[in-house]
Chain A
Amino acid sequence: MTAPTLLAASPAARTDRPPGRARRAATPARARETALGLLFALPGLAGLGIFVIFPLFQAIYLATRGNDILGNPTRSVGLAHFQELLTPEFGTVLWQTLVFTVLVVVPGVLLPLALAAPMTQRLPGMRIFRTAFALPFAYSVSAASVVWLIMLNPGISPVNWALGLIGVPAPNWTTEPGWAMATVVGVTVWMVSGFNLLVLAAGLAGVDEEVLEAARMDGATGPRQFVSIVLPMISPSLFFAVVTTTLAALQALGQVQIMTDGGPNGHTRTLVYSIFDNAFHNNNSNFGLASAQGLVLLVIGVLIAVVQFGVLERRVHYR
């Protein structure tokens, strides 16, 4: 049976039924559908309830506890862990998290944009370029971190060799205080660029040819056309790339832990690294402090989301 005949049949079937009977039948059917709906949602609700929602409350509880030697939360320490969050050390951690996030998001979105924009031209080989530029996306954090450690290893480093060609002495990438953060940022930008390129290329592919043509006839060319027409048209993709990159940067752990282990001297210590370090590193087992920092991360994440969705998204142009 084809769809149109089915559609024609459906209102008829409804009106045939006496209204009184339908209403009486409706209540148990409603209740049944409500129960069934709950049943369908149950596996997802259970998984998220047990491993996301409940742990949130537990984190609040843990944040007020100290542990015994085995790591069991025992005595109440009140708000002592939160007081530790008001120290200059934790201020440094927050500042470094902010610096890291900004330094990753800005080039991590602009670089793929600068690559994807020229790729919209009708030239042979653009599809190959797109796939090639997406390849870093295949790297897990640990794979990317270790490969880049080899890339920057003074004995091998093609990067140092290239710098040597132009007469620039290479720094100690991961052990010099000023350079360690830049190195971890660079690797993260490299990692996020692949996916952002795919997202932005997809957005650019959806830009309306006719609008561009009209703008060209009105005399808009080159950069002007890009800024006033293309950018607004791909603003949903841009927004998506900014939001996902911000979250990825805020939650980055592997590259910090593998490449610098928070060092040198705490210079690459970010919020998530600090959580990991307090709770799990070297059997530190300071679960209370780590939980308190986890709550700070949650609040920051929610604030960023509110700002991005409340302020930025208003400027996003959805068709």
Chain B
Amino acid sequence: MNRPGPVPTVLTYLWLGIAAVVLLFPVLLTVLGGFLPSNALLHQPPQLFDGDWTLENYRAAWRQPVVPLAPAFVNSLFVGLSVMLGHLITSCLAAYALVFMRSPLRRPIFWLFLATIMVPYESIVVPNALFIRSLGINDSRLSLILPFLATGFGVFMLRQAFAQFPRELREAAVIDGCGHLRFLVTILLPASRPALIGIAVWSFLQGWNMYFWPLIISSSNNSLNTLQTAVFALKDNEGGSPAVLLAGITITLVPTLLLVIFGQRWLVRGFTAGAVK
């Protein structure tokens, strides 16, 4: 669009500026609040730029004994990375079969994958929880990830990406004696990197931010807390100091803030490949 005149320019900055102050104040409070002594925070409005910054709240949040954050951090990382790997492996293989392997089962299998996208997770959480309990693994980390290793959405997105790969190149590779697995790993995957990174970022966020499932699976076992359930538990137990609570929340936010700042391009491209173009 054209460079606007001075009046629209001022109005644009004014509108965006006001919106930024309102919408980003909670972010500012989260990150700065953790560095402030509690009494600076308990002012109205909180004295965010008080100057007396301290690391004490972070130390207190990390070391507080009620809801230990270190194991929760490990659990969250484990869930995020496992879900990401699981999604990538199952989706790549399935999408490859759907695009490149001639089979009468191709259509029904594709519709089956699509149908699973339609099922809200909350509709099946009860049977899943009972099933995991009946397996006797509800005290292990495995129970945190087992239901989430495959995704219809990932299959769908990767199918779209793989379908754009030129058929002729694929045929040429086969004539050169390239098998399915080798073609997938050495040619197709490198060529589909943007879609893969997009799905990887999305999947990691899915796992990292999961709340409902860890809440019901880890309720009887503190060592299975992820950071997301730990924040909730911390809120109830650390009623005294909001500064410590904010420090704890900032710890849970570090990986996702980095992903949003540096990975947004991939995320949007991967997510909206079908929607935008």
Please report A residues at the B interface, Cβ cutoff 8 Å.
3, 6-7, 9-10, 13, 30, 33-34, 36-38, 40-41, 43-48, 51-56, 58-59, 62, 71, 73, 115, 118-123, 125, 129, 131-144, 146-151, 153, 155-158, 160-162, 190, 193-194, 198-199, 201-203, 206, 209, 212, 236-237, 239-240, 247, 250-251, 253-254, 257-258, 272, 275-276, 279-280, 287, 290-291, 294-295, 297-298, 301-302, 305, 319
Q: Complex Cα distance A301/B116, Å?
A: 12
Beyond A44-B150, A139-B256, A150-B29, is A156–B44 a contact (Cβ under 8 Å)? yes
A298 interface neighbour in B123, B149, B216, B269, Cβ under 8 Å: B123
Known interface pairs A41-B94, A135-B27, A156-B41; A294-B106 also in contact (CB < 8 Å): no
CA distance A172 to B176 in the complex (A): 71
User: With a CB–CB cut-off of 8 A, which chain A residues contact B116?
Assistant: 48, 52-53
- How far, in Å, is B210 (CB) from chain A's closest CB? 8
- How long is the Cα–Cα vector from A13 to B264 in the complex, in angstroms? 45
| B221 contacts the other chain (CB 8 A) | no
Closest partner residue, chain B, to A291 (CB atom): B126
Residues of A within 8 A of B8 (CB): 121
Contact present for A250 and B120 (CB under 8 Å): yes
Q: Say yes or no for B257: interface residue by CB 8 A criterion.
A: yes
Could you tell me if B16 and A118 are in contact, using CB atoms closer than 8 angstroms? Answer: yes
Q: For the A-B complex with A139-B256, A280-B215, A280-B216 known, give 12 more contacts whose Cβ atoms are closer than 8 Å.
A: A6-B172, A41-B97, A55-B131, A59-B127, A133-B19, A138-B256, A143-B231, A149-B235, A198-B264, A247-B120, A291-B126, A298-B123
For A11, the closest partner residue in chain B by CB is B171
Q: Which of the 9-residue segments B57-65, B84-92, B188-196 touches chain A?
A: B84-92
Contact check, A301 vs B118: say whether CB atoms are below 8 A apart: yes
> Sorted from nearest, which 7 A-B pairs have the closest CB atoms?
A47-B150, A6-B172, A37-B101, A240-B275, A40-B97, A55-B127, A58-B127
- CB-based contact A150/B175 at 8 Å: no
Q: How long is the Cα–Cα vector from A301 to B268 in the complex, in angstroms?
A: 24
Contact, CB under 8 Å: A136 / B249: no
CB distance from B25 to the nearest CB of A (A): 6
Set A142, A203, A250: member contacting B276, Cβ < 8 A: A203
CA distance A160 to B25 in the complex (A): 13
Q: Given A118-B15, A143-B249, A305-B118, is A138 in contact with B149 using a C-beta cutoff of 8 Å? A: no
B103 touches A (CB below 8 Å): yes
| Per-residue contact bits, chain B 78-108, to A (CB 8 Å; 1 contact, 0 not) | 0000000010011101101110011111100
Q: Tell me the number of A-to-B contacts counted with CB atoms below 8 Å.
A: 315
Q: Is B7 an interface residue (CB 8 A)?
A: no
- State whether A254 touches B124 (Cβ < 8 A): no
Look across to chain B and name the residue whose beta carbon is closest to the beta carbon of A240.
B275
A272 and B122 in contact (CB under 8 A), knowing A118-B12, A135-B257, A140-B208? yes
Q: Does B113 contact A (CB under 8 A)?
A: yes
Decide yes or no: A156 and B42 within 8 Å by CB, A6-B169, A46-B150, A253-B122 being known contacts. yes
Cβ of A129 and Cβ of B276 under 8 Å apart? no
Instruction: Say yes or no: is B267 at the interface (Cβ < 8 Å to chain A).
Output: yes
Question: Which residue of chain A has the shortest Cβ distance to B229 in the bound complex?
Answer: A142
* Cα separation A190 to B246 with both chains bound (whole Å): 18
Q: In the assembled complex, which residues on chain B have CB atoms less than 8 Å from the CB atom of A301?
A: 118-120, 123
Q: Which of B160-191 contact A (CB under 8 A)?
A: 166, 168-169, 171-172, 175-176, 180
| Interface contact B4-A121, CB-CB below 8 Å | yes
